[in-house]
């Protein structure tokens, strides 16, 4: 029976395949084989024997037998070693795990999981970036109401919003490329990191082992890879999750009944509420927000896993089995969901325009104030005059323009016709269009340099 929701509700099959038990054990086995292959280079045993053993073991990994041994000896890696020794001939069995410590095998296998996970995340980041970039282009001229503090502010464009998010996702893509060589690292350095068991052959054996599993050897380690490596990885996932939650939160706000500017995909037979048939809830965006909080929640536990006694203790082990697996699977899942939401996002242009004009020009008050200042009025006086006009417009339920044209001080500097043009939202967008075009160009360039 399944216990954890990741098993039956959250996560993609491709990411779960990397972190499931079968994959984990296979990777541990491959690290042990990698050590054997490295030892053949130094003449410890024959390459032919190791190649034969590799073919035999990869086809026949018996998880139940490994667990049976572990139940007896209470040590997972030694159970694996004993199991491999049962299947190997005497020559190979003699050298299995030679000179290694458990975390040489564990940390190196983890490095392959992180490497493969980052490949999936990078692929999806590029998809999301293309979606946002395309929407930034498509909607760069779609003027909408900007909001600060949840209140109506200056006009902006939907293209600008998408470009803002695209810029942030682009930085995550750059971060991923930068951190990959630091976090995809393994080791083969023995009990305290000195490679004493290998003698002067330590560097070569480690390099050959890592070459086989296709990760870089860490620069230096104790019994374990320094956990700042995993802290950087988890922090990156948490940072990315936070961006996804920020996007989802904005989309949730824009889907509120009284706003109604966007809608996430809603299937033909989808049910929004068990009791209110009319409901069309933003459940995917809400799910992204919910799981992002879980991901961020693992940052502190992972940092605490860096603080170990001397060359190491075991207080990190149980925590990291949960932290690395859950954080990676959940991040990949909400990234997949973010792509789904944004690819299928519906914008209601009629409502966007209605909301933009609902304040009857009040949100263009800054434009009037600054224009008065440019034409000779003291800035603070201009602020007060426009503020008073805005208050009167609200009280009388009129447009801001109707109140502005009643003010003689304003009319001395700006004609009614000019005031009408100044209070048009599309006339007060500054460099919004150019900034969108700049972001689109930069992201297109970035994507062209990422394989």
The 10s digit of each residue's pLDDT in 286-321 is: 999 999 999 999 999 999 999 999 999 999 999 999
pLDDT of residue 373 exceeding 60, the answer is yes
Residue 5, CA atoms < 13 Å, CB-side half-sphere: 6
265 pLDDT band, cuts 50/70/90, is confident
Answer yes or no: is 302 within a domain: no
Tokens describing residue 447: 């994507």
Tokens describing residue 239: 């940072």
CATH number at residue 370: 1.10.40.30
Q: Where a domain ends, among 95, 119, 142?
A: 95
> How far apart (Å, rounded) are the C-alpha atoms in residues 117 and 73?
32
Model confidence over 124-174: pLDDT tens digits? 999 999 999 999 999 999 999 999 999 989 999 999 999 999 999 999 999
How many distinct structural domains can be found in the chain? 2
Q: Where a domain ends, among 95, 129, 150?
A: 95
What is the structure's pLDDT at 267?
67
Q: What are phi and psi of 188, to 5 degrees?
A: -150, 75
What is the structure's pLDDT at 84?
96
pLDDT of residue 401 exceeding 60, the answer is yes
Q: Where a domain ends, among 52, 79, 95?
A: 95
What is the structure's pLDDT at 87?
93
> How far apart (Å, rounded) are the C-alpha atoms in residues 143 and 229?
44
CATH number at residue 22: 1.10.275.10
Answer yes or no: is 399 within a domain: yes
pLDDT of residue 222 exceeding 90, the answer is yes
Answer yes or no: is 351 within a domain: no
> Which of 323, 255, 261, 242 is closest to 284 using CA atoms?
255
What is the structure's pLDDT at 88?
93
Residue 310, CA atoms < 13 Å, CB-side half-sphere: 4
Reply yes or no on whether 108 is catalytic.
no
Choose the weakest-confidence range: 55-69, 92-106, 116-130: 55-69
What is the structure's pLDDT at 268?
67
What value does the mean pLDDT take over residues 172-199? 96
What is the structure's pLDDT at 257?
87
Catalytic residue among 4, 46, 273, 444: 273
Choose the weakest-confidence range: 94-98, 268-272, 361-365: 268-272
Answer yes or no: is 301 within a domain: no
Choose the weakest-confidence range: 109-123, 177-191, 276-290: 276-290
Answer yes or no: is 431 within a domain: no
Domain with 38, as residue range(s), is 15-95
pTM of the predicted model as reported, rounded to 2 decimal places: 0.93
Residues with Cβ within 8 Å of 208's Cβ and at least 6 positions away in sequence, in order, are: 34, 37, 38, 41
Reply yes or no on whether 290 is catalytic.
no
Catalytic residue among 149, 257, 278, 448: 149
Answer yes or no: is 122 within a domain: no
269 pLDDT band, cuts 50/70/90, is low
Answer yes or no: is 400 within a domain: yes
Answer yes or no: is 60 within a domain: yes
């Amino acid at each position: 029976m399944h216990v954890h929701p990741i098993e039956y509700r959250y996560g993609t099959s491709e990411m779960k395949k990397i972190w499931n038990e079968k994959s984990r054990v296979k990777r541990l086995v491959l690290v042990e084989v990698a050590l054997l292959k490295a030892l053949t280079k130094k003449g410890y045993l024959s390459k032919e024997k190791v190649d034969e053993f590799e073919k035999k073991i990869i086809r026949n990994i018996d998880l139940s037998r490994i667990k049976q041994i572990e139940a007896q000896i209470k040590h997972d890696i030694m159970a694996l070693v004993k199991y491999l020794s049962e299947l190997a001939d005497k020559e190979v069995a003699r050298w299995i795990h030679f000179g290694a410590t458990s975390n040489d095998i564990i940390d190196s296998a983890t490095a392959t999981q992180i490497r493969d996970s980052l490949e999936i995340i990078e692929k999806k980041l590029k998809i999301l970036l293309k979606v946002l970039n395309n929407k930034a282009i498509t909607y760069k001229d779609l003027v909408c109401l900007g909001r600060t503090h949840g209140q109506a502010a200056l006009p902006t464009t939907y293209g600008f919003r998408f470009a803002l998010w695209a810029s942030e996702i682009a930085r995550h893509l750059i971060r991923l490329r930068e951190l990959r060589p630091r976090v995809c690292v393994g080791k083969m350095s023995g009990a305290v990191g000195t490679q004493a068991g290998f003698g002067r052959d330590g560097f070569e054996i480690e390099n050959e082992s890592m070459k086989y599993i296709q990760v870089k050897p860490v620069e230096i380690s104790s019994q374990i890879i320094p956990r700042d490596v995993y802290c950087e990885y988890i922090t990156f996932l948490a940072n990315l999750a936070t961006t996804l939650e920020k996007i989802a939160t904005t989309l949730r706000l824009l889907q509120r009944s009284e706003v109604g500017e966007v809608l996430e995909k809603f299937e033909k037979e989808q049910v929004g509420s068990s009791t209110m048939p009319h409901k069309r809830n933003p459940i995917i965006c809400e799910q992204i927000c919910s799981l992002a909080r879980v991901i961020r929640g693992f940052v502190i536990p992972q940092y605490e896993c860096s603080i170990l006694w001397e060359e190491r203790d075991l207080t990190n082990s149980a925590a990291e089995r949960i932290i690395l697996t859950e954080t990676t699977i959940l991040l990949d899942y909400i990234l997949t969901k973010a792509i789904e939401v944004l690819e299928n996002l519906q914008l209601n242009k009629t409502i966007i325009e209605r909301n933009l004009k609902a304040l009857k020009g009040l949100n263009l008050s800054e434009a009037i104030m600054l224009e008065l200042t440019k034409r000779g009025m003291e800035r603070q006086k201009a602020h007060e005059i426009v503020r008073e006009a805005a208050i009167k417009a609200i009280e009388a339920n009129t447009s801001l323009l109707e109140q502005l044209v009643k003010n003689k001080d304003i009319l001395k500097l700006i004609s009614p016709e000019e005031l009408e043009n100044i209070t048009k939202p599309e006339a007060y967008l500054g460099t919004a269009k150019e900034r969108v075009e700049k972001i689109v160009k930069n992201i297109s360039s970035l994507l062209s340099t990422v394989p």
